[in-house]
A and B are shown apart, each in its own frame.
Chain A
Amino acid sequence: MTDITRRNLGRLALASGAFVSPAALGQGANPIRIGYAMSLSGGLAANGRSSLLAHKIWQEDVNARGGILGRPVELVFYDDQTNPGTVPALYTKLIDVDRVDIVVSPYATVMIAPSMPVIMQRRMTYVSLFGAGVNEAFKYDRYFSMNVAGDDIKGTYGRGFLDVAFTLPTPPRTVSILAVDNEFAQKAAESVRHLGRQRGLRIVYDRSYPPTTVDFAPTIRAIAATRPDVVFFASYPPDSNGLLRAISEQRMTAPILGGGMIGPQIAAVQQQMGPILNNLVNWDVYSPEPTMRFPGVEAFQEKYRARAHAEQVDPLGNYLQPFAYAQMQVVEQALARVGRIDQAALAADMRANEFKTVVGDIRFSALGEWAEERNLFVQFQGIRDGDLEKYKRPGAKVILHPANLKSGTLRTPYGAPA
């Protein structure tokens, strides 16, 4: 059972209410106000609320240091209810009525995209969180994305997974692809399809499914029947769970299995799935391995973990939470250098400079994505149960790619016990 079993709605409403009122608690004069919409209810609420916690921790850290440019920071946010329809109105209110100084994005592509027209019209500099390819459609020059995938998902995403696959003792010859019908997943699948063909793999299964699918047994059976060497999934939390359960139930094995499943990065899933995750090779953004001890990340995670349980959010903070913190660090560092609230100057600064954050050093490309993609591919190793303590230490999620962050070697096959 997940930690998030009962939401104390009253407490949440109260907490949100306290933050929404512009007369913020005990802030000094002339605060710098950062406004945004965040999913505090609805389908994306789990990640939305944990991002909010990360932001609050950042805010406290910054204010403890005296704020930015000598002014305290205030967060002004609204719940977008994971309903994209609310977003244009909310950002219009934030900018035109509440008159915030800086805006940042909601969480996830589906919520960021509707905000873009409003942002672009007002020429605001915009740092977004985990949006995939949003700016491809808009080509906005003041957009900056905190997302590891970089500009060219098709050309780069699958590379890591396939590189790892080709370290198998017997080189793989066949690959199966299953992807949920969703922007990021489809791009990831396309990448694997494209790069797989380039490397001579034969595609023996290639399908998509709608996000509402619940029963994966027939699909897994069909995939297993084709006996692929490389099994690739691109899926999101509810379906990732369903897939893994179906795989475990049918005792499916393969030399290498996993790919782009969003879900195993989250504590609740790690707890539920337990040993099913053993030997899964999967996309990730962060793992507490020795190669990823960036300045500040351990301190942040300690603070986060201390408060996560009370706020009923992901207790580990190994997924997007450090990125939410880093998102605000980018804003902070740019502001400190520019010295004033000037959207054009901020955008120029973000384009030109390198940022040192809790998730490493970052530079932005012309379209606002990371100049250098950093898709991690990790393998769950030695997983015998769903206990979460091991995920706080190195060794549970070993990094296999990229080479400069590698911390272990591939174990095969998937389906073997720890």
Chain B
Amino acid sequence: MTVSFVDVDVRPTLRAGGEPFGEIMAAIAKLAPDQGIRLLATFKPVPLFHVLGSKGFSYEAKELDGGDWEVLFSPGAATAPADNVAPAAKAATATDASAWPAPVQHMDNRDLDPPEPMVRILATTEKMASGEVLSALLCREPIFLLPELAKRGHGWRGGFEPDGKTYKILVRINAAKETAA
């Protein structure tokens, strides 16, 4: 099967501080069976590998000159995500490597005084339904938040973005309880 690729360039959205997830999922929804997408992003979109992996896409990622990333998502046998996750992301993953749904809540907490980012994330998680995912940007690793998330039974995945300054965390409500069940 010859795969043709549809270009999805989310770099302008990312540079404007936006969240391109909706844009990407809309493009995926429009694909024909023999089509894939050629994604251009400002960082290696590790969380997306899981999400699209669960939809049956395999991927091939390469870094472009200037630090941007090109990822080809092709339909067909998905590679096992655990083998392809960047080591940092794998080390920081507190729950299993299965696919998580797209985040329903996005927060940018980078300009908040500590411990306000933790306060807001915990307040938001209390209002979310089981299985939903929250995505938050922080300016450092939330070391006091992680034990609190674990205690409340939420799963999380996190790591530094390639800029080395932004920490992105995904929190899945009650994920630990579901895994245990």
> Do these two chains interact?
no
Chain A residues packing against B (C-beta within 8 Å): none
